[in-house]
Amino acid sequence: MTTLSLTINGQKHGPVDVRDDLSMNDFLREMLGMTGTKFGCGAAQCLSCAIIVDAPDGTSTTSPTCVAPAVNFNGKSIRTVEGHARDGELSTLQKAFIAHFAFQCGYCTAGFLNEGQVLLERLSRTPVAREALEQTITDALDGHLCRCTGYIKYHEAVRDVILADSSRYLMATK
Amino acid sequence: MGPSRREFVKWLSAGGISVSLSHLASAAGVPFAAHETLPGRGKFNPAAKGAGRVDGVAKVTGAKLYASDFRANDLPGWPQATSHAILVRANDATHVYTGLDLARLGGALKPSVVVTAADLDRIGTQVPDFYAGDLFCPIGTTPLYLGQPIALLIFEKFDAFDQARLALRDGTFIQFGEETGPVVVPDYGAFRFTRVAGPSPDKPDVYSPLQAGWVSPKKVQSAALPVWSPLAKDMPADYAKAAKYGEQIRAELAADDASMLVLDREFETQSVDPMFLEPECGLAWYDGKGGNLELLLGVQSPYEAAESIAHLLGKARAPYKPAHINAQFAHVGGGFGGRDHTPFILYVALAAVCFPGKPVRLAHDRYQQFQAGIKRHAIKMRSRIGIDRATGKIKAFAADHVLDGGGLAHFSASVAVVAATGAIGIYDIPKVDVRTVAVHSRGVSAGSMRGYGILQAMTALEVLIDEAATELKHDPIDFRRRNALPQNGRTMTGNPYIVSVRTPEILDKLEKHPIWQQRAQFKQASSDRLVGTGVACVTKDYGSGADGSLGRVELGPDGKIVIYCDHVEMGNGIGTALANRVAGHLGAIADEVSVARVDSYDVLGLVTSGDSSTIDQKTQDAAEKNPRWVPAISSPTSSSIGAHVGTHSAAEAARVIFRFGLWPAALELWRIAKTDPRAGQWASASWQDGQLTMPGLEPLALSVLAATAHARGFVTGAVAHSFSRWAWSRARFPLSGEQYRAEIDALAIRKGSGKFERINRTSVKFPPTDNNRIGTAYTSMCGTVVRVEIERATGALRIAKAYSVFECGTALVPEVVMGQAQGGFAMGVGYALLETLPPFEGGPGNGEWNLGRYLVARGSDLPLRDLEIEMLKPLVPDEAPKGMAEVVMIPIVPALINAIHDATGHRFRALPVTASLLKGVLA
């Protein structure tokens, strides 16, 4: 057993004793009841279980939770799909997903939302050229599986958020 | 008479168990958005202004929606703790099963309960006919199929369960002895569909299934391909008659006739998994005292699930037999047919009754889902086609299909029938003979999956058509146009379609598209890659030929609209489609849409009997005298019926509210007397921005109309049932002094704020039972043209550009329809190029398959920015919606194979065409 403390969506959790082999996915879903993070394959292949991990330097990455032990997140700060909206106001990307009819069954949505959000934050720090944008989105989202949509509307939603605030996410054109 | 296309659900209680079904509204009191009623009154509704789905907010905020999201402490009245079960399955089906070695589960890991075949007699279970076969493989016998359940292990605590599942991962604790080879089981069904057209299109057919009924040889020889003995003495007379015509057709194709081009080709398709992202899951709690069995499930067929569980426990012994079953249904995380009639739910119920007093959760992980989830049929097809060289017209077609049904019958016979009756696709062929058989194997069970046999048959056909056009030196699109079935032409069962047939328009679009026009220009091969262009055009039925639909609409005095529907939201946007279709009658998007809702129609008092697919006319005529009788009450959410059937009853209920609630309210507000001719001109009224308008009259807001309707006691709510057997039932109801006629067969209304009351129909016309001889009368068309680039060195294929065009009548939610078309394209690409499951020992039944090994299309496999999809506008403004969710995944598959041939000169005759296979032919 290991004592686990972490921050989830800005709230501190723990200290709580967890088994060393308890997955982060089960910690969220079974221990905390936070089932917005899904379980898809248990092999880090579909990424419907992906969450955001915020590093102390202000950068963020996504991480699968199905194969990662919960104890790996000790002391870390993470964000899940439940934490994107603030005071009942949906995030820009959440609104874009809705407006684009980006999802169908919705089971993969949390993973795409987290990945898309990390991409937006990365681009706000390190913008890319407009001509590199489409490939940048494809590369960012490509690990995520969706069986319903064919991915196009997810990509369009992310792209349109970026283009709507291009000075923030894209390099200035010369 | 043909076989049942779907297992039709009769609303009954089995063995004295009462059954109720509800949705998750009971969870509304918990502090998260557990509403299956979405978006909920007063909550932001993206659909209200066409800017999203009714379930949009719930899905982007991680609300608990799916069966896998719920635990016991989420559900009011349930105990707080959740126990967990593991369903152990056989990973060998050629040796005798000798038992489990659970020694590795010592101490705290020891399961609280182990349920095996030996316990079933003690419990007194009975297996529903649809799932015939042992629920658990008994010790001392060879498993019927790979993945057959062996035992349920139930753990009271999560930690024990979690560690046990890891300890059991390798499967070596399941012990086997003597080798026996696979268990031999009779075939699931064999049929023959033969048609010989008359001398001209306006003359009756010489022979057709519509005239003579569907025929079966009753028995088939076991062989790699079935060997029918069409004229043998022991064949039924009706079969012998069909066989006589069929063998004549085959003899003509075999004749040495220089005027005909005859191609005789085989094509083989593979087994694949629906790969919906949410593995199957269920939660159940039995009080253990002969009382309630509570269930929370996620399926496409809620009525069937409840009935099957009632049957399972209908003759159970005390204390295992519940007095009452209450099943609740959640959204599903993808379905694609794989959750329609799933045996999984039986084990959820068993787990609960074997661990009384404790809520038990049974959830597949992905390995288990691959090991046990319903698969698409692998089909071996041999097709012969005869074409008159002079005219380029197809004269005859004969085919033999063998479907690997795997371990349980499931829908195998039905899939075989659909594949066979759809085997000539978009074409007009005067002589057709198709024999089909669905066989048992030790593989994982195959059953319903998006495409339902047509995907496989269309792929073989469109590849064959492409080859025929090449042989005849005809343009592939012109060859298709020349042979396309016209609007009133007869399908191979002898009936015409009763919906639009827009093949010529689709072929024209494909022909004019730049991808096709520029195919020669792009074919210029470079040293490192080959380029090819392919085309295909297909048709796919929608509806099962016996579809029931329930709908309930309520209009509040403030104009707020609530809709209830029995169909399930599996991503298909049924909730939003309902809202849009009802808005067409009531002028506003609903505030609440409740799907998978099966508890809201009791006022209709519906009863049913018999099997709507096999019932005879005399029996139907007698039964319909009971004004509460209908041929089928509810249908699974399958067969692309969401738009066409799923929304029909709610739309008709809304029509009643308008006609007998809002319209009389409007007349009062406009001060138009009943004797005024304008009083009968409701069809001239229209909704604009939430206001009812009539030329020359003041627009009226819905809220004002609703308040008036409530105040005056006009109709403010309606519950309707409808049934379709390739045509809707029609009935008359006494309403407001007139005989109201509509395409429904049961109706209840609410006046003002009163209670709902049933209105007995005064007459009814159900579709004739002879319609059961029709293969399909509802169909949609889709065509695709695609350009591929193939690297010579690696065989890596890139889809450079693609264009799909399809028709679907009126699209209720165009954005959802386009999304489904894009998703269908992606699933088709995966089927053509990536996905495959070996059938037996090395396949998913061994419990070792997961994503990574099983490849599905990712974004980088698809032409995300080079895929153009066109949805044809409806032929007329009020054209009924047509099912499209399946047809859109089909033509890309043969179009890709044809494009690969164009690029490489090699015609593949099996799927998938992987990069390594391509590399092989390029070497």
Q: Do B347 and B297 contact (CB within 8 A), yes or no?
A: no
Interface contact B55-A106, CB threshold 8 A = yes
Interface contact A151-B73, CB threshold 8 A = no
Question: Could you identify the residue written with the tokens 């779907």?
Answer: B6
| pLDDT tens-digit map of B709-747 | 999 999 999 999 999 999 999 999 999 999 999 999 999
| pLDDT tens-digit map of B17-57 | 666 655 454 333 333 333 345 666 566 667 677 678 888 99
Sort out which chain A residues have CB atoms less than 8 A from B57's CB and list them.
90, 98
Interface contact A45-B571, CB threshold 8 A = no
| pLDDT value at residue B2 | 33
Report residue B843 as tokens.
Answer: 């396949």
The closest alpha carbon to B553, from B454, B464, B658, B637, belongs to: B658
Q: Which residues contact B381 (CB under 8 A, 6 or more apart)?
A: B266, B267, B268, B269, B399, B400, B401, B402, B456, B457, B460
- CA end-to-end span of chain B: 52
The rounded distance, in Å, linking the Cα atoms of A51 and B729 is 50
- What is the DSSP code (8-state) at residue B661? I
Report residue B891 as tokens.
Answer: 């033509």
The CA-atom distances, in angstroms, between B387 and each of B257, B264, B466, B496 are 11, 12, 13, 23
3-state SS string for B730-746: EEEEEECCEEEEECCCE
Interface contact A152-B46, CB threshold 8 A = no
Averaged pLDDT for residues B116-145: 95
Interface contact B570-A153, CB threshold 8 A = no
The rounded distance, in Å, linking the Cα atoms of B34 and B24 is 7
| pLDDT tens-digit map of A106-143 | 999 999 999 999 999 999 999 999 999 999 999 999 99
Using CB atoms, which residue from A21, A105, A155 is nearest to B334? Answer: A105
In sign, the C-alpha dihedral spanning A82, B577, B22, B306 is: negative
Contact of B886 with chain A, judged by CB distance below 8 Å, is answered with no
CB pairs under 8 A between A and B: 185
Q: Which residue of B has its CA nearest to A28?
A: B69
| pLDDT tens-digit map of B787-837 | 999 999 999 999 999 999 999 999 888 999 999 999 999 999 999 999 999
Averaged pLDDT for residues B269-286: 98
| pLDDT value at residue B33 | 33
Question: Could you identify the residue written with the tokens 């929608």?
Answer: B542
Q: Which residues contact B59 (CB under 8 A, 6 or more apart)?
A: A103, A106, A109, B53, B65
The bridge status of strand B324-329 relative to strand B292-297 is parallel
Q: Taking the model in full, what pTM does it have?
A: 0.94
DSSP string, B719-732: EEEEEESSSB-EEE
CA distance B573 to chain A (A): 7
Interface contact A90-B61, CB threshold 8 A = yes
**Could you tell me if residue B336 is left (phi over 0), alpha (psi between -120 and 50 degrees) or otherwise beta?**
left
Q: Do B810 and B871 contact (CB within 8 A), yes or no?
A: no
Q: Which residue of B has its CA nearest to A145?
A: B858
What ranges in B500-616 are assigned the alpha helix state H?
Answer: 503-512, 514-517, 519-522, 574-586
What's the ipTM? 0.98
| pLDDT value at residue B635 | 80
The rounded distance, in Å, linking the Cα atoms of B122 and B350 is 13
Averaged pLDDT for residues B500-506: 97
The rounded distance, in Å, linking the Cα atoms of B639 and B449 is 9
Contact of B816 with chain A, judged by CB distance below 8 Å, is answered with yes
Find residue B286's DSSP bridge partners.
B293
- CA end-to-end span of chain A: 57
Type of residue found at B174: I
DSSP string, chain A: -EEEEEEETTEEEEEEEE-TT-BHHHIIIIIS--TTS--S-SSSSS-TT-EEEE-TTS-EEEE-SSSSBGGGGTT-EEE-GGGSSBTTBPPHHHHHHHHTT--SS-TTHHHHHHHHHHHHHHHHHS-B-GGGHHHHHHHHHTT---SSS-SHHHHHHHHHHHHHTHHHHBPPP-
Neighbours of B919 (CB within 10 A): 16
Sort out which chain A residues have CB atoms less than 8 A from B824's CB and list them.
150
Interface contact B858-A99, CB threshold 8 A = no
Averaged pLDDT for residues B628-646: 82
Sort out which chain A residues have CB atoms less than 8 A from B158's CB and list them.
26, 30
Interface contact A148-B73, CB threshold 8 A = no
Using CB atoms, which residue from B57, B813, B865 is nearest to A134? Answer: B865
Contact of B807 with chain A, judged by CB distance below 8 Å, is answered with no
Interface contact A147-B856, CB threshold 8 A = yes
Contact of B31 with chain A, judged by CB distance below 8 Å, is answered with no
| pLDDT value at residue B224 | 52
- What is the DSSP code (8-state) at residue B644? I
| pLDDT tens-digit map of B653-689 | 999 999 999 999 999 999 999 999 999 999 999 999 8
Residues of chain B above pLDDT 90, percent: 79
Sort out which chain A residues have CB atoms less than 8 A from B367's CB and list them.
42
CA distance A14 to chain B (A): 18
